[in-house]
Amino acid sequence: MLIGERYRYRWVVLVMASVTSGLTWGIAMTVGHFYSSWMSYFDAPASYVSMAGSLTLTVGCGAGPIFRNVVKKLGLRWSSFCGGLIMAVGLAAGYFAQSVLAICFTFGVVTGLGSGLSNFCGCGALNEYFYKERAFAEGVAGGVFCLFSFCISVAQQYWITSYTWRGAILLTSALSLQQCIVSLFFISPNVVAQHPLNFWRETDAQHIVSKSENDKCSDEPLEMSSKAAEQDQVKSDLQQQRSYLKIISSPTFLLLATIDFLNWFGHFIPYVHLVERGRIQGIGFESSAWLASAFGAGGFIGRPLTGFVCDYFKIHPFKAFCFVQFVSGISSLISPFWPSTCGLFVYASFYGFFSSGYGLFKSGVPRMLGSAYYVDALSLMLVLEAIGVVLGPTVSGIIYDQTNSYDWSFCFSGLCQILTGILSFFIPAVRRFESRRALELDVA
């Protein structure tokens, strides 16, 4: 049992981590509105603009190892606070962009760094407070993310209509500043018992004993404490290096990383291109803009429900992951056969409802690798996610430029997700193989 699971404060952490997910990736996932505006405003090809739209997630994921070191130095609270501030600055700077290249730097690189750092802290906070109910926690976080995506999408649609895309991106910057307040609630389980922000402050004997021991330690000479701190830092660095080596050499991790990469290679494509696909197929401007909101509406119901069912019936997260990947992949494959307004809205809602694959994936990783290795494993997998995020929409944009149709792009997205579902079948077998090999080495 994790230390954090003992405290009722974990529900506060769940709420704040969920809001973090909504303020970070929720803003990044609603890029479809800006994407269409940038194409017409800058008169740029789809492949060029789609790369700018996907850079936010690409940078936010690709800097995972850097985020790991930042959190190690500053802690979750201050790291998330800085991330919210950087995100707001990047969005505000996008107001002055005069080219797609400037959008790539402001909205893509700067905003991506800030949102990625804050989101990384939110994932780390959940890992410290949830294990047994992890699938439900990830489902709630995913549901709130979808709710924010829906609300932000509706707001951005109104802002773009009223104030153009420049005014909309400036207002989105103001919204993202709320992350600085949310970050203050990411308190370590080791100090949460008596923290002022803990509404259920606990005064148990264990806390009093630990406090008295800390007081005794504070009476040590400064030189001795500084030397001890240096030694602890060296040990911590060595442990982190060993942790990375152990994770990279694990066949289970390599398979998980491959699945994660392929998932993000195809998963993000509908979020980026569905709005523009609707407009090309003759749907009105205002109607197609609501397609992005339909993703959020479906996910708001589907993600928490999937997590609850998974925990209540004790279904392994990767079994549920396999199911939702097959369902969402098939929906993308058959979406070209129902190109009407009703068909696209049904597809967006259905895809959003079964979009909980990543949350189930994250809740399954600690069970396969152990909670102690989760943050290090996540920081490494984020790099592969970044590559998948930037390649997927870019490749689909190239496919559109060659075919003048998004049908093949969505079929490509569906095939990637079905492939991840197939590969997830082999995770238990690879895990058993790794366990047997470790046992044989111990006996030898």
pLDDT at 27: 86
- Tens-digit pLDDT profile for residues 209-262: 454 444 444 334 434 344 444 444 444 554 555 667 788 888 999 999 999 999
pLDDT per position as a tens digit, 363-416: 888 888 887 788 888 888 888 888 887 788 778 888 888 888 889 999 999 999
Q: At residue 32, what are phi and psi to the nearest 5 degrees?
A: -55, -35
Residue spans of the domains in the chain: they are: 3-197+237-443
Mean pLDDT lowest among 31-35, 89-93, 108-112, 357-361: 31-35
For residue 172, is pLDDT > 90?
A: yes
Q: How confident is the model at residue 358 (pLDDT cuts 50, 70, 90)?
A: confident
Radius of gyration of the CA atoms of the chain, in A: 22
Model confidence over 268-278: pLDDT tens digits? 888 878 877 88
From the number of C-beta atoms within 10 Å of its C-beta (0-12, 13-18, 19+), residue 210 rates as: middle
Confidence at residue 56, expressed as pLDDT on a 0 to 100 scale:
84
pLDDT in tens, 100-121: 899 989 998 999 999 999 999 9
Q: What is the DSSP string of 301-355?
A: HHHHHHHHHHHHTT--HHHHHHHHHHHHHHHHHHGGG--SHHHHHHHHHHHHHT-
d(CA 220, CA 124): 32
Q: What is the DSSP string of 393-424?
A: HHHHHHHHHHHS-SHHHHHHHHHHHHHHHHHH
C-alpha–C-alpha distance, residues 131 and 100, integer Å? 43
Burial of 436 (0-12, 13-18, 19+ CB in 10 A): exposed
**pLDDT of the residue at 285:** 65
Helix or strand or coil: residue 418? helix
Task: Give the mean model confidence (pLDDT) for residues 65-85.
Answer: 93
**Range in 127-136, 185-194, 279-288, 415-424 with the lowest mean pLDDT:** 279-288
Check residue 218 and give its pLDDT. 38
Predicted local distance difference test score (pLDDT) of residue 202: 57
Q: What is the pLDDT of residues 8-67, one digit of tens each?
A: 899 999 999 999 999 998 888 777 678 778 888 888 776 677 777 678 878 888 888 899
**pLDDT score for 219:** 39
Calpha distance 65→224 (Å, rounded): 32
d(CA 271, CA 294): 10
- Which option is the CATH number for 3-197+237-443: 1.20.1250.20, 3.40.50.720, 3.40.109.10, 3.90.1210.10? 1.20.1250.20
**According to the model, what pLDDT value does residue 243 have?**
66
pLDDT at 214: 47
pLDDT digit string, tens, across residues 284-327: 766 776 787 788 788 889 889 988 888 888 888 889 999 999 99
What is the helix, strand, coil percentage profile of the chain, to 5?
85, 0, 15
DSSP string, 11-38: HHHHHHHHHHHHHHHHHHHTHHHHHHHH
**Of 211, 209, 187, 182, whose CA–CA distance to 198 is shortest?**
187
**Segment 342-347 mean pLDDT:** 92
Average pLDDT of the chain to the nearest whole number = 83
The answer to whether 290 touches 278, Cβ cutoff 8 Å, is no
When pLDDT is averaged across residues 171-178 and rounded to a whole number, the result is: 95
In this predicted model, which residue has the larger pLDDT, 394 or 203? Answer: 394
Query: What is the predicted pLDDT for the residue at 241?
Result: 56
